[in-house]
Amino acid sequence: MALVIVLCLLVITTQTVVWCDVPANLDMRHASYGDYIIGGMYPFRFSGSDGLCSSAPGKWALSMSQTMIFAIQEINSNPAILPDCIIGYDIRDTCWSEEFTLYTSTALAVGRNSRYDTQTNAIPVGLIGPASSVNAIYAGKVAGLYQIPIISYSATSNELSNKERFPYFLRTVPPDKLQARAMVDILLHYDWRYVGLLYSADTYGIHGALEVTKLAEQNDICIAFSVVVREEPQTNEINDIVSRVGLYPKATVFVIFSLGGHMYDILRAVHATYPNRRLICIGSDGFSGYGFLRNPSLANATTGSFYVGLTYNKVPNVENCMMLEAMISSSFTLIYAPTLLKVNRIFRIFQSSRRSVRRPRFVGPKQQLMLAFVFILIQVLVSVISVSFAPALPTFLFPPDLRKYVEIYCSFGQGFVATIVYNMIIILVCCFYAFKTRKVPSNYNESKFIAISVYSTLVLFLAVIPVYTTALHVLQKVATLSAALQLNASLTLALVYLPKLYGIHFADELNVQEWRTTANQIGSISGIMSRMKTDSAMQSKKSDPI
């Protein structure tokens, strides 16, 4: 009642005395002329203990105000909505302060600000804002006195639902009583019947806590303790709250109805005092959405570095799907065609050494490169033929749970089976030669690494194909395929090529000399055995009487 009397006196005095403006360094305004003006109240800055606003505007309020400006510009640019009418705006700062909100709402209601162009000093037909419930009460009172509709975008206090006190107040968010109902439903769902209640000392926290208490009594939920917390609690206040919480060790569920992040100081103190106490928090939207550092020790982890994110959001088309199919099939051939030639080369060298001293055919570097090129060329031809007759096409996938979206992905055609079969043949032949060369001397133990790589790829093939074909969502298909390709490439690098790099860069000269000596011995022994076989055959011919 006292607030209403003060506002009435304020209205009367504005007609007889000169309007006093807030100093320019405290006022923030952005306006545009129009036939009708809509006022906006946003908390661009914060109010300090000295009553002054901070210098740096907040990103959240800037984005909200830009959304309002964009909506007005879209309406003005569309003649079908309000023809022959231009809507203007007058956006001002509330500074998260009750005093500034009272000044801003009154200034907008009377359309007065002598420091700006008089063209924009028109009385708004409506107000948008403010953000908090506390400030919305002051602005709602002013709007009621001047009979101007006001719509808040985030004030949720139950107090604002009283149409007798706030006849012109509306909002685009549900009141706190619905939020309290949801919090109590969570308690009932998990059968939490013994809880603690923490709330902030403002209209948001007080009315929210009252609603939670009322619903808890109706549903046989015992509130062990109810603690009110100021916006900036002192150390002794925090210690008193922690001591009170310690009196109820069985109350492990806290219901928190608060704005801002000062409740985190309470929770940290409770955790530090009772580190073994299991704690479950159910926070209101004003508390749970507050940003904070979860791991302060990692704050400087990225100092001196930068991140470049590569995103590809293009809708799949026929060309992309055809390229995807060809690249996947070719990648396996590029990996396992040279691997097949390598393990086959080792097998033929040791097999021929048992029969003669002649060098096997097609074991030189040039011949091996030519054979690898032929294998890859065959895969390219198979891919071209499969893409021409049965290509991969973009396909719509409807989620089984009837969600409100449709996914599109590249569905492999029947021609993709031919490329897969070709790669499987190469891999199976690799498995065969890797098994045959498993007992070669230790100097050629790369065949063992090749065998492990090929066996793991074969198992990977058998696991990926059923998972991919039975996946119900595109994300599952893409994740399975990507993981298979990356895992296959990583295994090949680790098992086939990293041992070679280790031998080149880290093996000492003695070991290299030992390898050469052993290899020469093996070659000499093989040659001697071959010559012995030849001599024995010639002697048998000479001794044959026929």
If you average pLDDT over each of 51-55, 117-121, 480-484, which comes out highest?
Answer: 480-484
pLDDT confidence of residue 213: 94
pTM score over 0.75: no
Contacts of 34 (CB under 8 A, 6+ apart): 76, 86, 87, 88, 89
Long-range CB pairs of 343-350 (<8 Å, 24+ gap) are 343/430, 343/433, 343/434, 343/437, 343/447, 343/450, 343/451, 344/429, 344/433, 346/433, 346/437, 346/440, 346/444, 346/446, 346/447, 347/433, 347/436, 347/437, 350/437, 350/440, 350/444
Confidence check: pLDDT of 529 > 50: no
Mean pLDDT over 117-130 rounds to 72
What the block records as the tokens of 542 is: 């000479």
Mean pLDDT over 431-459 rounds to 77
Contact 176, 154 (CB under 8 A): no
Mean pLDDT over 147-151 rounds to 94
Q: Residue-wise over 91-125: b if at least 16 C-beta within 10 A, else e?
A: bbbbbbbbebbbbbbbbbbbbebeeeeeebbbebe
pLDDT band of residue 297 (cuts 50, 70, 90) is: low
pLDDT band of residue 295 (cuts 50, 70, 90) is: low
> What are the pLDDT digits (tens) for 397-421?
877 766 677 888 888 888 888 888 8
**How distant, in Å, are the alpha carbons of 176, 196, 291 from that of 217?**
17, 13, 32
Distance CA 461, CA 327 (A): 17
Mean pLDDT over 231-238 rounds to 86
Q: Among residues of the chain, what percentage have pLDDT more than 90?
A: 22
What the block records as the tokens of 198 is: 């923490």
What the block records as the tokens of 467 is: 């998972």
- The Cβ-side half-sphere exposure at 11, using a 13 Å CA radius, reads 16
Least confident of 66-75, 145-154, 182-191, 484-493: 484-493
Confidence check: pLDDT of 115 > 70: no
Contacts of 284 (CB under 8 A, 6+ apart): 176, 179, 183, 208, 256, 257, 258
What the block records as the tokens of 498 is: 């990293």
Report the C-alpha dihedral over residues 185, 187, 191, 195, rounded to 10 degrees: -150
pLDDT confidence of residue 170: 95
Mean pLDDT (the chain, rounded): 79
pLDDT band of residue 491 (cuts 50, 70, 90) is: confident
Distance CA 265, CA 260 (A): 11
Q: Return the H-helix or E-strand segment holding 442.
A: none
Mean pLDDT over 119-123 rounds to 57
Closest CA to 332 of 454, 464, 498, 496: 454
Confidence check: pLDDT of 497 > 50: yes
> What are the pLDDT digits (tens) for 341-350?
888 888 888 7
Distance CA 6, CA 27 (A): 23
Contacts of 17 (CB under 8 A, 6+ apart): none
Least confident of 56-70, 252-266, 296-310: 296-310
pLDDT confidence of residue 78: 92
The CATH architecture one would assign to domain 2-171 is 3-Layer(aba) Sandwich (3.40)
pLDDT confidence of residue 211: 93
Contact 336, 426 (CB under 8 A): yes
pLDDT confidence of residue 543: 43
Q: What is the residue whose two structure tokens read 């801003």?
A: 104
How is domain 176-290 classified at the CATH fold level? Rossmann fold (3.40.50)
Distance CA 502, CA 241 (A): 62
pLDDT confidence of residue 12: 40
Confidence check: pLDDT of 542 > 60: no
Q: Higher model confidence: residue 350 or residue 200?
A: 200
If you average pLDDT over each of 53-62, 72-81, 503-512, 535-544, which comes out highest?
Answer: 72-81
Mean pLDDT over 452-456 rounds to 83
pLDDT confidence of residue 21: 52
Closest CA to 231 of 300, 172, 313, 286: 286
CATH 3.40.50.2300-classified regions of the chain: 2-171, 176-290
pLDDT confidence of residue 413: 80
Confidence check: pLDDT of 114 > 60: no
